Structure 1
Amino acid sequence: MPIRQSNRCDLVKQSDIRSMTLACAERGGINLAQGVCDLDVPEPVLQGAADAMREGYNVYTRFDGLPELRLAIAEKQRRFQGLNLDPETQIVVSAGATGAFQAACTALLEAGDEVLLFEPYYGYHVSTLRAMDVTPRFVPLHAPDWSFDDAELEAAASPRLRAVVLNTPCNPCGKVFSRAELERVADFCQAHDLFLFTDEIYEHFVYDGLEHVSPACLPGMEERTIAISGASKVFAVTGWRLGWASCHPRWREPIGHFNDLYYVCAPAPLQIGVARGITGLGQEYYHELAEDHGKKRDRFCEALKNAGLAPHVPQGAYYALADISSLPGRDSRERAMHLLERTGVACVPGRAFWHDGAGEGLARFCFAKRWPELNQACERLERLS
């Protein structure tokens, strides 16, 4: 047999997010495709990382991260969610939330398992599972409020089902799962003896007086929940690759061992920068962040309406799904490319977030931009009308 690439390469392709980013760069457009929060990094975060390099934080850390960061994460979760995490036994710092998800899935899932995801989903979750020979199953979220049906959830159960993946606030649709909805998911997990992997990276981007609830807070879910978050979005450091998983002490070592295998450790001085950002920035920082992005959401969704691209107004995160079915093209990719060619504004084809073609009439736009760039994108889109 001739030498060849792994069969896994057929499961992991360049995402539509990446390909639209490249197409946008080639045309010098405004990139609302990739979820890059291009705001200023808070000064305590930058200064903390710079100081850490001079202070000698330039070598390997323990596989689960520096104690300063784990302690800061635990205190932050106590402050915002009322969780009492032991920073020594319940937190693993990794190479971004994506790294934490990879390490957790490898530690806790087997090839041949099934995992349930709500749809629309974040593509990296699905690709990670498929690359591990884990089969994703899907339960639809129904527009306009992106609700789920208990009967459809129950119908997805099977003897091989091992876990549920829940993204709240949700990328791409911006749904913030209510406490009542999370309790229904928790009941399902307990009834079928499942893990719950949560992606909470947008936990501080919540609007309209809603609140983010971490499912780990719910009765009976402490042992089952692997809560994943990170600094990428909230501190605008997507390139730093700093995330973490918090979990019951039973799972910390296996997750940490795979984290060590894949990444050894997250960058040491950057861990200190994030730790000092968490400890040095008060509640007002997070409040202002959500308030600013709420205003950007309103401005951008109004522009989409004016352009004839009806938006699904998000409750959280910093993306808006919009109806692009009126644009020329046979599918969402061609319509997104038409929009880029005509306006210079890049979005992500809706096909990236559904497994069955249900998103072909939609596209995802990221509005986490500085005001001048966002206003320019809005003006370009509004010329469509």
Structure 2
Amino acid sequence: MALTLSERHGCVMQSEIRNMSNECRRVGGINLSQGVCDTPVPDPVQEGARDAIREGVNTYTHYAGLLTLREAIAHKQKRFTGIERNPESEIIVSAGATGALYCAFQALLDPGDEVILFEPFYGYHVSTLQASEAVPVYLPLRFPDWSFSTHDLEHLVTPRTKGIIVNTPANPSGKVFTPEELELIALFAERYDLFVFTDEIYEHFLYGGRTHHSFAALPGMKERTITVSGASKTFSVTGWRIGYALCDARWAQAIGYFNDLVYVCAPAPLQIGVAKGLLELGDDYYRALSVAYEAKRDLFCRALTSAGLAPSIPDGAYYVLADVSRIPGKSAKERAMHILRKSGVASVPASAFYHDGLGESMVRFCFAKEDAVLEEAGHRLQILA
């Protein structure tokens, strides 16, 4: 018998986001493809990690994370959403939000279970589902307001439907789900007894007066919701891999056991740094995030408009989808490569966020960069005008 790769290997091939990052590196361009923040890490977060290393917090932690961090997460959750979580039994710290989601899927989904997700989607949600041998089922959001209806949801239900993924604010569209939309999903989840997996990693990146509504806060939803978030975006520590899952104790222990199996624990001193940030940074810090990133959004979207790449203005997160239909190329990938070769600015072909050939007329840019970098990228893009 010839040696072969596993059947599941195809679902974890290198993502288009990383592909474009590599292409950008080859030409020495400006990387606006990958969501890598280059904004400063808050002082308390840095100091907490540094002090923890010096004080010897460098060994294995509890598989669910240091209690100090879990208590800080519970405090923050209560402060911003009103939801109370028991830090000893309802919080699992993992290797980033992606790690927390992977462990949740492993613990709660069986092979063949179907999970609905909104399209355009974040590619790692799909790959992580497939790595768990679950089946993604796609609900296309209607452009330009990224809307959907109860009928859209009902049309997708089968006896195998086990859950739904809600990413708000969303990557790549920047959609912020309204209370009315979340209530519609809640009724749907209750009607069909579904898990609701929410990715709320961009919860503090909101523009135009938008407000984040955590799904678990809706009546009756706390028990069926697995809320995933983390520190990567809020504290600009994407490489630290500190994420977490919040859920009912019935689900948390199994999620924690998978976390122990796959990751053992998140980096110990970095857990302390994040805990210090959660406890010491006040509301002004989080408000300032939205103000600063809204200015970055506006700066870059003006540049896109001037370059003839009409942006779909995001309400949250820190990505923008732009119309590149007039750029030479037969696909989004060819157009993204043309933009990179011509201007030296890397984007992600939006086809990476669709499953059936859609998205070929758009690319995604990340604006989580220093203003000087965004200004230079915007200047370079004008060659496309």
TM range (shorter): over 0.9
Please report how far the alpha carbon of residue 149 of structure 1 lies from its aligned counterpart in structure 2 after TM superposition.
Answer: 1.9
Look up the equivalent residue of 1:318 and give its one-letter code: Y
Deviations 1:130-155 (A, max 9, x none): 12221110111111111112211110
The corresponding residue for 2:222 is 222
Name the CA distance, whole Å, in 1 between partners of 2:85 and 2:46. Answer: 26
User: Contact (CA 8 Å) 2:342, 2:383: kept in 1 or not?
Assistant: no
Tell me whether 1:349 sits opposite 2:349 in the alignment: yes
| Cα shift readout 1:267-295 (whole Å, capped 9, x = no counterpart) | 10000000001111111111111100000
1: CA distance, partners of 2:207 / 2:357:
29
CA distance in 2, matches of 1:217, 1:52: 34
Q: Percent identity?
A: 58
Match of 2:323 in 1: 323
Offset at residue 49 of structure 1 (A): 0.2
In the alignment, the residues of structure 1 paired with residue 119 and residue 32 of structure 2 have an alpha-carbon distance, to the nearest angstrom, of 21
User: How far does the alpha carbon of each residue in 1:182-232 deviate from its partner, in whole angstroms, 9 at most, with x for none?
Assistant: 000011100000000000000000111110011000011011100000000
Shift of 1:26: 0.6
Give the aligned partner of residue 120 of structure 1: 120
Coordinate RMSD, CA, aligned: 0.7
Aligned partner of 1:162 in structure 2 is: 162
Task: For 1:279, give the aligned amino acid.
Answer: L
Letter in 1 for 2:210: L
| Other-structure match for 1:283 | 283
Q: Which moved more, 1:7-16 or 1:166-175?
A: 7-16
Distance in 2 between the 1:293 and 1:262 partners? 34
User: Equivalent residue for 1:362?
Assistant: 362
Aligned to 1:152: 152
Residues of 2 paired with 1:10 and 1:44: CA distance? 41
**2:270 corresponding residue in structure 1:** 270
CA deviations on 1:70-125 (whole Å, 9 max, x unpaired) are 01101111111111111111100000000000000000000011100000000001
Q: Could you tell me which residue of structure 1 aligns to residue 135 of structure 2?
A: 135
In 2, distance between residues paired with 1:252 and 1:132?
17
1:238 aligned counterpart, secondary structure: coil
- Code of the residue aligned with 1:264 in structure 2: it is V
Counterpart position of 2:92: 92
Deviation at 1:382, TM superposition (A): 2.2
Shift of 1:381: 1.1
Q: Secondary structure at the match of 2:239?
A: helix
What SS is found at the alignment partner of 1:118?
strand
Report how far residue 308 of structure 1 moved: 0.7
SS at match of 2:304: helix
Matched residue SS, 1:365: strand
Unmatched segments (≥5 aa) in structure 1: none
Distance in structure 2 (CA, Å) of the matches to 1:324 and 1:205: 25
Per-residue deviation, 1:7: 1.3
Does residue 1:11 correspond to 2:22, yes or no?
no
Q: Is the 8 A contact 2:167 2:200 kept in 1?
A: yes
Q: Which moved more, 1:130-139 or 1:95-104?
A: 130-139
Q: Which residues of 2 match residues 1-385 of structure 1 at below 5 A?
A: 1-385=1-385
Aligned partner of 1:198: which letter? T
Counterparts of 1:44 and 1:382, CA distance in 2: 39
> Tell me, which stretches of 5 or more residues in structure 2 are unaligned?
none
TM-score, reference length from structure 2: 0.99
- CA distance in 1 between counterparts of 2:59 and 2:362 reads 46
TM-score by length of 1: 0.99
Q: Matches of 1:150 and 1:376 in 2, distance apart? A: 44
Quote the Cα distance in structure 2 between the aligned partners of 1:253 and 1:133: 21
Letter of the 1:42 partner, please give it: P
The alpha-carbon deviation at position 383 of structure 1 amounts to 2.8
Distance 2:188 2:251 in 1: 21
Q: Which runs of 4+ in 1 moved over 3 A?
A: none
CA distance in 2, matches of 1:264, 1:13: 24
